[in-house]
Amino acid sequence: MSLVERPPAANARASAPVAATVTQRAGAANPASADAPLLRAEAALPAVGAHHTWMAVLLIVMIGKVTEWVPGITGLPLAKIAFFFTVAYWARERQKLVPVRVTSLRIAKPVITFFALSILSVFFSIYKSYTLIESEASAILLITFVVLLKITQTMRDVERMLLALVGSAMSLTVGVLVNYSGGRAHINEHFDPNDVAYVLDALLPVVIAYGVAHSRRGKWLAYGFALTMTLAILLTGSRGGAIGLAAVALALFAYPLNFSKTGELRGFAPGGMIVKLALLGVLGVAIWGSLPGDTRERLTTLADLQHDYNAGNSNASRTVLWRRDIGLALQRPIGYGLGSAAAADGRAGGQYRTAHNSFVQAFLELGVLGLVLFVSSYIVTSRELGRISLRGQRKPVDRETAKAALYARALRIALLGTVAAGFFLSQAYSSCLWMILAICASLARASGSAPSAASEPTRPKATVRTRAAA
């Protein structure tokens, strides 16, 4: 992960939307605020509207899957309803928003190309009927990604999307704990324990950051809920989820989601990390002792890889599966088509298993180009978030810039969790992953570190009037 930072002033001159003009004038009078190109321009933009609320509902349905387990709304087409009202209200408010040319956003470019490739892979797929079915989900994710970027204009909008991620975490965590009845926690037949653990790994740092950003009480509530999420992850018995949880925990200790007494985002502190690891050890012993015997037995296999079937030479071993799938991908660099991993494995003498590795899955199904785009999405996003988080560590820093830096660091850690857990799970097309990337792109734009549509001739009337009044 790169920590190279572009000077904020250059970003503001090169890429800030029209509304940044208000901020630049304010920054001239107050040098301490010059690091927030767009944050103080929010007054010139529309307040959070109905389209943001409906988009938040859509995210909770897509990621938190509330309609798949919550009594009373199970089976309702809430995703379609939320999407319809999001687009409808967005169309009504469109003239008031700053134009967003999505393809100009660094994070969006590889993401859009990746999903376009997944849809077009039907033309070279070995399993065309299934690829067509899976293409619908890719198209929905692509459209939702673009719409979210179009409507998320300010930090207030970004926070609404982050709150939706918190709601998704609550849905899955409560679902796991309420429905747990022994064995591996999975809520119901619609949920895979590995998928639940993967999502909770990614959302845990977001929950903490959202609480820390708002109040002292919110911070402690977030810490308590994070412990509950940790318990839910462990109850799933997902070893990939446990590895992802460990990666997230270490990152949180190394780069805390908290502010210093002078308001900056706290940096790396080796001494503090050692103390926190000691506390984690004590807390870990307590949590481990409270876990069911089946869960402990399953998770202890992580410390005995020599006798684990995934590290053996059987046809069901993941290491054997990975070698076979990588070999297949090298034989056909264009890929086998979206959703074809199991079919390709079966044709090669396997047991029709999916890749159980997000990177191998992208490589096998979408070829070399698909793997490059998948990895590029992570790298580009990490760099953009790194630039934002570094701003929050400089003195002096205003509150809004520090808050944006806090969210950037949390999202960066969330992506680390998806890498660690996704290395053992087939999550290349996870709605959680790609919606987090959409929020990252929105955060980069709202904080002024990403190119925008400032070059487009159309300018919102509300923004122009505000500039004239200034």
| Per-residue pLDDT reduced to its tens digit, 264-315 | 998 877 766 777 777 777 777 777 777 887 777 787 877 665 555 566 566 6
Helices (H), 291-428: 293-299, 318-331, 341-347, 358-391, 399-422
Average pLDDT over residues 46-51: 72
Question: Is 3 contained in some domain?
Answer: no
Tell me how crowded residue 127 is: count the other CB atoms within 10 A of its CB.
Answer: 21
Predicted local confidence at residue 44, as pLDDT: 47
Number of compact structural domains in the chain: 1
Distance CA 166, CA 439 (A): 13
pLDDT at 408: 97
Give me the half-sphere count of Cα atoms (radius 13 Å) on the Cβ side of residue 464.
8
Q: What digits encode the pLDDT tens for the residues 59-112?
A: 999 999 999 999 989 989 999 999 999 999 999 988 888 888 998 999 999 999
Query: Which has the minimum average pLDDT: 64-73, 125-134, 311-320, 340-349?
Result: 311-320
Distance separating alpha carbons of residues 152 and 172, to the nearest angstrom: 25
Give Rg (Cα) of the chain: 22
Q: Is residue 14 part of a domain?
A: yes
Q: What is the pLDDT of residues 235-257, one digit of tens each?
A: 999 999 999 999 999 999 889 99
Whether 456 is in a domain gets the answer yes
Residue 239 near residue 302, CB atoms below 8 Å: yes
In whole angstroms, what is the distance from residue 169 CA to residue 203 CA?
6
The gap between the terminal CA atoms of the chain, to the nearest Å, is 41
Which residue matches tokens 């199991």? 342
**Buried residues in 327-342 as b, exposed as e (16+ CB within 10 A):** ebbeeeeebbbbbbbb
Q: Which residue has the higher pLDDT, 332 or 272?
A: 332
The H or E element that residue 19 is part of is none
**Comparison of pLDDT for 42 and 111, the residue scoring more:** 111
Torsions phi, psi for 259 (to 5 deg): -105, 155
Classify residue 1: in a domain, yes or no: no
Q: 30 lies in a domain?
A: yes
Task: Collapse the DSSP code of 265 into the 3-class scheme (helix H, G, I; strand E, B; otherwise coil) and give the result.
Answer: strand
* Geometric angle at alpha carbon 432, from 434 and 320, rounded to 5°: 90
The 8-class DSSP code of residue 222 comes to: H
107 contacts: CB under 8 Å, gap ≥ 6: 377, 380, 381, 384, 437, 440, 441, 444, 450
Report the C-alpha gap between 70 and 410 in whole angstroms.
Answer: 28
Query: In one letter, which amino acid is 29?
Result: A
Cis peptide before 457 (omega within 30 of 0): no
pLDDT at 282: 76
Q: Residues with Cβ < 8 Å from 348, sequence gap 6 or more?
A: 324, 327, 328
Report the pLDDT averaged over residues 113-142. Answer: 95
pLDDT score, position 201: 97
The percentage of the chain sitting over the pLDDT mark of 70, rounded to a whole number, equals 81
Domain that holds residue 52: 8-469
pLDDT of residue 52: 92
pLDDT at 460 over 60: no
Between 349 and 466, the higher pLDDT residue: 349
Residue 37's pLDDT is: 44
Whether the predicted pLDDT of 17 surpasses 70: no
Residue 408 CA to residue 436 CA, distance in Å, equals 11
Residue 28 pLDDT greater than 60, yes or no: no
Q: Is 249 domain-assigned?
A: yes
Q: Which amino acid is at 169?
A: A
Mean pLDDT to the nearest integer, 309-335: 83
Tell whether 293 is covered by a domain: yes
CA distance 247 to 315: 29
Residue 230 lies in a domain: yes
User: Percent of the chain scored above 90 by pLDDT?
Assistant: 60
Q: Buried b vs exposed e over 452-467: b needs ≥16 C-beta within 10 Å?
A: bbbeeeeebeebeebe
**pLDDT, greater one: 461 or 410:** 410
